[in-house]
């Protein structure tokens, strides 16, 4: 969103105008596809013209309309649909933007702005972030985490371990994930997979490579998402890798771990071959029964 604000500032500056106060509080609201919404705007001092701006995600911001308070008239910009947007006045310092027939493309941040009466400074209101959700959802859905700990073979052979944090079935798709040590403040270098849409929800994978010197420490996968209650970050605890390893006394070295992995793999393929073999037998028997029924039917007709 920062680049969009910078782009809008550049546009305004090119017209020999100055704008400010783009940093403010953001109120988040959710509305279902096809519904309507009213976005309110409060200004500190009276003004004749109220300008409404839309900042869609990853797209160029644009003005939607401006409202003339003296004549109670709205003037739409060229790309603004008349049957979708409307503006109104509540009081001398309070206004509303009306949106109808909501679509996913209407998701984004909305501001109103006014020019100072004695200066060339445009003042922006606090923002409203609108998220248009599918009819099947009632609001933000928190991610369902699944954790994967390093294998014993990895920690013994690579002298490091990889923590995997799989986040599934969350909405909306805006999410930030970072890692740190428990009781620590330093953000650790990690890897982030792309946020993928799966149906109407989203999935994301993040992983952290832990060096041998830190395998005995607890780590946290920290999640920032709209669904977090009270704005608090969701924290997922990963236990010390060395403790997990020592909790399995039967695996004394890398050879045992490798043997266990080979055993599991062999068992998997054995069951798979048995399943395929049974399917082949089933197909042969079914074919024989169908053929026998056909022959018997032909004999009766003759």
Report yes or no: 145 and 84 within 8 Å, Cβ to Cβ.
no
SS3 for 13-46 is HHCCCEEECCCCCEEEEEEECCCCEEEEEECCCC
Determine the pLDDT at residue 8: 47
pLDDT of residue 20: 46
Residues 23 and 120 grouped into a single domain: yes
Question: For residues 174 and 125, is the Cβ–Cβ distance under 8 A?
Answer: no
Q: Are residues 176 and 232 in the same domain?
A: yes
Q: Which of 133, 158, 186 is the last residue of a domain?
A: 133
129 and 11 part of one domain: yes
Interatomic CA distance for residues 127 and 112, integer angstroms: 8
pLDDT at 216: 92
Q: Do 228 and 302 belong to one domain? A: no
Q: Is residue 138 part of a domain?
A: no
**Cβ neighbours of residue 90 under 8 Å, at least 6 residues apart?**
40, 96
Residues forming a β-bridge with 91: 94
Do 210 and 265 reside in the same domain of the chain?
no
Distance CA 205, CA 196 (A): 9
Is residue 114 located within the same domain as residue 162? no
In a domain, 206, yes or no: yes
CA R_g for the chain:
30
Per-residue pLDDT, 228:
86
Please check whether residues 109 and 153 belong to one and the same domain.
no
Spatial distance between the Cα atoms of 164 and 186, rounded to a whole number of angstroms = 19
| Same domain assignment for residues 156 and 215 | yes
Element holding 176 (H helix, E strand): strand 175-181
Domain final residue pick, 100, 133, 166: 133
Cβ contact 169:143 at 8 Å: yes
Distances from the Cα of 78 to the Cα of 22, 34, 158, angstroms = 24, 23, 61
Split the chain (302 residues) into runs of 10 and give each run's mean pLDDT. Answer: 46 41 70 94 84 90 91 90 92 92 93 74 84 86 93 88 95 93 94 91 95 94 89 92 55 47 49 60 69 56 50
Give the phi and the psi of residue 248 in degrees, each rounded to 5.
Answer: -120, 85
CA dist 157 and 180 (Å) reads: 24
d(CA 10, CA 7): 5
| 45 and 151 inside one domain | no
In a shared domain, residues 205 and 284? no
Residues 54, 122: Cα–Cα separation, whole Å = 16
What pLDDT is attached to residue 249?
47
Residue where a domain terminates, one of 110, 133, 156: 133
Q: Does pTM top 0.75 for this prediction?
A: no
Number of structural domains (the chain) is 3
> Residue 253: helix, strand or coil by DSSP?
coil
Instruction: Tell me whether residue 234 is in a domain.
Output: yes
Do 81 and 188 reside in the same domain of the chain? no
CA distance 238 to 89: 53
Containing structural domain, residue 233: 144-246
pLDDT confidence of residue 47:
82
Q: Does residue 31 belong to any structural domain of this protein?
A: yes
139: in domain: no
The enclosing domain of 189 has a CATH number of 2.60.40.10
Distance CA 84, CA 100 (A): 5
Let me know if residue 106 belongs to a domain.
yes
Residues 260 and 240 in one domain: no
pLDDT of residue 16: 35
């Amino acid at each position: 969103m920062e680049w969009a604000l910078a782009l809008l500032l550049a546009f305004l500056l090119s017209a020999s105008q100055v704008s400010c106060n783009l940093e403010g509080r953001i109120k988040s609201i959710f509305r279902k596809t096809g519904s309507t919404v009213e976005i309110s705007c409060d200004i500190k001092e009276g003004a004749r013209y109220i300008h409404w701006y839309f900042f869609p995600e990853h797209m160029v911001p644009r003005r939607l309309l401006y409202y003339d308070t003296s004549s109670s008239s709205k003037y739409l910009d060229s790309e603004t649909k008349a049957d979708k947007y409307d503006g109104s006045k509540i009081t001398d310092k309070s206004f509303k933007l009306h949106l109808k027939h909501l679509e996913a493309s209407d998701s984004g941040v909305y501001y109103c702005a006014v020019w100072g009466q004695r200066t060339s400074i445009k003042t922006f209101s606090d923002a409203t972030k609108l998220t248009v959700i599918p009819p099947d959802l009632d609001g933000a859905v928190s991610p369902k985490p699944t954790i994967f700990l390093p294998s014993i073979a990895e920690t013994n052979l690579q002298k490091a371990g990889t923590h995997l944090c799989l986040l599934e079935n969350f909405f909306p798709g805006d999410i930030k994930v970072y890692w740190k040590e428990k009781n620590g403040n330093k953000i650790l270098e990690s890897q982030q997979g792309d946020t993928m849409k799966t149906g109407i929800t989203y999935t994301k994978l993040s992983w952290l490579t832990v060096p041998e010197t830190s395998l005995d420490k607890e780590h946290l996968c920290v999640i920032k998402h709209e669904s977090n209650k009270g704005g608090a970050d969701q924290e997922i605890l990963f236990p010390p890798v060395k403790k997990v390893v020592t909790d399995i006394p039967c695996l004394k070295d890398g050879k045992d771990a490798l043997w266990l992995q080979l055993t599991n793999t062999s068992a998997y393929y054995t069951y798979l071959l048995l399943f395929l073999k049974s399917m082949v037998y089933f197909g042969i028997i079914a074919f024989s029964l169908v053929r026998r029924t056909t022959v018997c039917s032909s004999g009766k007709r003759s």
